[in-house]
Structures are given as structure tokens and as C-alpha cells.
Structure 1
Amino acid sequence: MENTPLLQGHAALVTGAGRGIGRAIALMLAREGCDVGLIARDVQALRQTQAACEAYGVRALPLAMDLSETALLPLAIQACNEAFGGLNVLVNNAGIHQFASAVEANLEMWDRMLDVNLRAAMHATRLALPHIIAGTQAGRRGAVIFISSLGGKFTAPTNAGYAAAKHALTGFGGSVFEDVRDFGIKVCVIYPGWTNTGLLADWLRPEEVIQPEDIAEAARFVIASAPTVCPTEIVLQTQSSRAARLFSTT
């Protein structure tokens, strides 16, 4: 007899789901029987992710929006709740990045990075938690996963704005875990190193860095973890030392 998929009868919302890490996580959730809400700016990419998820026999709801406009998030959470009858898993994956010295940085870009990389995750989490708690009280799994970066663990030149947002995400995620741990909700911050998302440095080869599917597998590990334990942080290093040098500290 075949095993029941891990998330049969569950619903999730994934931000930054149009491509890369978000798309890989959405597909993992769909394979596990989970209905998925998908947030991204690129409508065409969203439709492609939607079709790929629906091929697994689940429902997929594309929600085209710019996460810097946090006022739209209540509508997204409401749409998922109405479409799926609840919400059990939230994956805060969306992020933007720009290399710039603190001396020369564009302040508007700093604000946008904080909006997308931090404030959107904070708002989405606050809005989703009542639904996730209700699901766990009904016997379903519950999880909030934050996709950070090694930039949330270390510092580097020309990375101040991004590092600020990602370091703050660590504090937020850890505090959220303390707030909801007694509900059995898994809360984890995942810190990937260089990942094959199409934004690699010229001197890196795609085959020597982390793949989006590797991060999706880490997210699955969090959701599937036993009721007695919660992996609150997962650091994913590239096996290649050449690729890892970017994050070396001095």
C-alpha cells in the first residue's frame, strides 16, 4: 500500500514562487499533496509554477503582487484561506539583493530590500499564524519557514543593506518560534550559501553550488520533523570550497 503524502489535505503559501528556490519548494509541497498559494511579481512565471504544481493533482492559486506593498498581504492570506479552507504552511522566500558600499548605497534600494526581505515576511507571518494555529489544533501539521542566506550569518563588504535585513530575519524567526512552539508549529530559518538561481558570480559553475531542490528538501525536513523536535536553523554550505570563499570572513 502506498504511503499517504506528507501534506495531503494541507495548504501552503509560498512567496517568491515564480522561479528558483520558491518554485522548487512549491513543487515539493505539491508532490506531498499540498495545495499551494503562489506569490510572485512575474505573471508568466507564476502561471508556469501553477501548471507544474497542478500536474501533481493539487490546487494552485497564483497571486501576482509586489511584496514591497505589504498592504496587499491580507488579501493574499484571505484568498488562500477561502480557496483552500485554511492555511498550514508559510514559506517566506521572496527576496531582492543589490551589492553596494554603505558609503555609496542607494537609500531607496535599502528601503526596498527591508520591505521585501524583512517586513513582508513579518507581515505575512503575523497574518498567517492564526490560520496555522487553527490547523494544528485540528490535527494538521504547521510550519513557518524563512529562506535567509549566509548573508544572515556573516558580514561582507558591499552587503550592508542585505545583511541587515537577513540578520533581522534571524531574530524575528527565533522569536516567532518561542511564541508558537507550544502549538507544535515548526519555525525554521534556512541559510543557503551560493545557490543556482541564475544570479551566480561569473567565476562560479552551476554544478558546484547548491541547487534549489536541495533547499526544498531542507524545507521538507523541517515540516516532517517529529513532534518532539524543531530544527530552528539550518545552514546549507556548498560542498565546493571554491564557491564558499565568497562568505569567508576576515
Structure 2
Amino acid sequence: MPTTNLFDLTGKRALITGSSRGLGLAMATALANAGAAVVLNARDGVALGAAAHDLAATGATVNAVAFDVTNRDSINEAVNHIEDEIGPIDILVNNAGMQFRSSLEAFPPEKFDQVIATNLTSVFNVSQPVARHMISRGTGKIVNICSLLSELSRPSVAPYAATKAAVANITRGMAVDWAKHGLNVNGIAPGYFATELNDALLKDDKFNAWIESRTPMGRWGQPEELGGAIVFLASEASRFVNGHILYVDGAFTATV
């Protein structure tokens, strides 16, 4: 097979959680551009519908399925609907997540629980029912979105960093358990990207200057720059890559 064909996702279907905007939508767009049919997901049906409409206008094959990644009943219903009515899920991207910033001594316990549920428990919630279908077919690709904070931390984001460290390790655990069934499970750890989630940081001149000086490439990442990584891990090009965390961070974690 020619090398370029290894990245062709024609005939594959990808479910991307948290994909009505930001990095999720950027990755969905990259997968669609590589030939995959995509299923967008978010809780907000209005935003989800708008994203699906815009992506479909580019010629992509798009479905939109709204469900809450913290609600197991909702997830199971959605996964069954996709498998039965839309088609098999060949690729799962666990991207849904949230951030809440506060010093740890003042961090509201209910927000801690929400961050854990949204960023970590959701990865198990969605992966388990999807993986059961993949296992029955003997093939499947799962990509969990980690973070450079899977390895590091900074003030005000300790719970977020904890969830992302756990996502990195559950990714390895999924690979260990499911590789024998033909599944590839890997993670992408983005650095600081210019998205709506980071809007407050982008508008903070001091923080913005710190990112530009701290990142060897001297700038924030752009959402479309995750495209190559997600297509690689979703495609046959990564067939013997399993349990790996791919950092896409402009060399942030490579320097001190």
C-alpha cells in the first residue's frame, strides 16, 4: 500500500465528543478531510446543529448526536443509536472536557467532582460501550485527548491536571486490555492552543507573553495543527502504535 494511502479514512466513521467547537471541531474537520464520515457530539443541540451544518457544507458526511458524556444512560442510548441507525463507530475521539480555575484551598468541592466527571469518568463512560462493539468486530481506534498538564501543573488548575494525568494512564490501560482484540488506543496531549476555552488566557497580556516566551516555537498552537496527529492515530499509518501519548505542544514539555 502506498504510504499516502495509509492515511486515507474513506469508509471509516468517527465519533468525536465535545466537537461543536474548538479542538474537537478542528479534529472532526481533519478526519472528514481525510475521508471519514463524522459524528459530532455536544450537549448543546443548537451549537451542535450549527457546527454540523457548517461542516456538511464543505462536502463532509456529518451526523450530529447530542448526549451528555457524564450520563451513562444517555451515552448507551446514543452509542446504540449510532451503531444501529447510522453505522459502526470505527474511530472514537474522547475530547469532551472542561476547566475551572481556582486555588486548590478554595476549590469548590462540587466543581472538583464536575471536573473529574467531565474530563476523566467520561472517557470510561463513552469508551466502554464503543469498545464492546469494536471488540466484536476485531478492530477499532480510540484516541483520548490528554494535555501537557498530563505531565506538568501550574497554579489554579490542579484538579484539571489530575484528570489529564489519569486520562493518559487510562489510555495505556485501555491499550493493554484491548490490544489483543485488535484495538489501538492512544492519546494526544495538546499544549496551549488558541481556542474559546483559553479565551481569557489569550486576552491576558502577561500570560500571553509568558506562553510565547515559554514555548520554544514562540507562539500558541492553532486548532488545525492537531489535524495531522489525529489523522495519523486514527488511520492505518499507526497500526502498531498502541498506548502512546503524542505531545503536540511546540516543544513546551521538551524544555525547562
TM range (shorter): 0.7 to 0.9
d(CA) in 2 for partners of 1:154 and 1:12? 30
Q: Distance in 1 between matches of 2:255 and 2:116?
A: 24
Counterpart residue number, 2:117: 115
Letter in 1 for 2:152: F
2:172 touches 2:243 (CA, 8 Å); kept in 1?
A: no
Q: Could you tell me whether the CA contact under 8 Å between 1:11 and 1:84 is conserved in 2?
A: no
Partners of 1:229 and 1:122 in 2: CA distance:
21
In structure 1, runs of 5+ residues without a counterpart are none
Report the alpha carbon displacement of residue 94 of structure 1 after superposing the two structures with TM. 0.7
**Pick aligned residue for 2:246 from 211, 227, 234:** 234
Instruction: Please report how far the alpha carbon of residue 175 of structure 1 lies from its aligned counterpart in structure 2 after TM superposition.
Output: 0.4
How many pairs does the alignment contain?
239
User: Is 1:76–2:72 an aligned residue pair?
Assistant: no
* Alignment match, 2:128: 126
Any gaps of 5 or more consecutive residues in structure 2? 213-217
Q: Which runs of 4+ in 1 moved over 4 A?
A: 2-5
Checking the alignment, whether the CA contact within 8 Å between 1:38 and 1:50 is kept in structure 2 is yes
Q: Does 1:12 find its partner at 2:14?
A: yes
Quick one: which amino acid aligns to residue 175 of structure 1? G
Q: Normalized per residue, which structure has more helix?
A: 2
Structure with the greater relative contact order (CA < 8 A, sep ≥ 6): 1 or 2? 2
3-state SS of 2:240 partner: coil
Question: Partner of 2:158 in structure 1?
Answer: 160
1:39 aligned partner, one-letter code = N
Q: Is 1:53 equivalent to 2:55 in the alignment?
A: yes
2:193 matched to which residue of 1?
195
Q: Give the superposition deviation at 1:97.
A: 0.4
Partner of residue 232, structure 2: 221
Change (3 A) 1:226 1:40: closer
Q: Which residue, 26, 31, 41 being the options, matches 1:29? A: 31
Q: Percent identity?
A: 28
Q: Which residue of 1 aligns with 2:215?
A: none
Contact 2:186/2:241 (8 A) holds in 1: no
C-alpha separation in 2, matches of 1:162 and 1:152: 9
Structure 1 equivalent of residue 219 of structure 2? 208
How far the C-alpha of 1:4 sits from its partner, in A, is 9.6
Query: Amino acid of the residue matched to residue 37 of structure 1?
Result: V
Contact between 1:191 and 1:235, CA under 8 Å: does it hold in 2? Answer: yes
Of 65-74 and 190-199, deviating more is 65-74
Task: Kindly state the Cα deviation for residue 125 of structure 1 after the two structures are TM-superposed.
Answer: 0.5
The equivalent residue for 1:143 is 141
User: Once the two structures are superposed, what CA deviation does each residue of 1:184-212 show, in whole Å capped at 9, x if it has no partner?
Assistant: 32211111111110224113289921111
Residue 68 of structure 1: how far off its partner (Å): 2.8
Give the aligned partner of residue 175 of structure 1.
Answer: 173
Greater Cα shift, 98-107 or 196-205: 196-205
Deviations 1:152-180 (A, max 9, x none): 11122221211111111111110000112
Give the Cα separation in 2 of the matches to 1:50 and 1:5.
Answer: 23
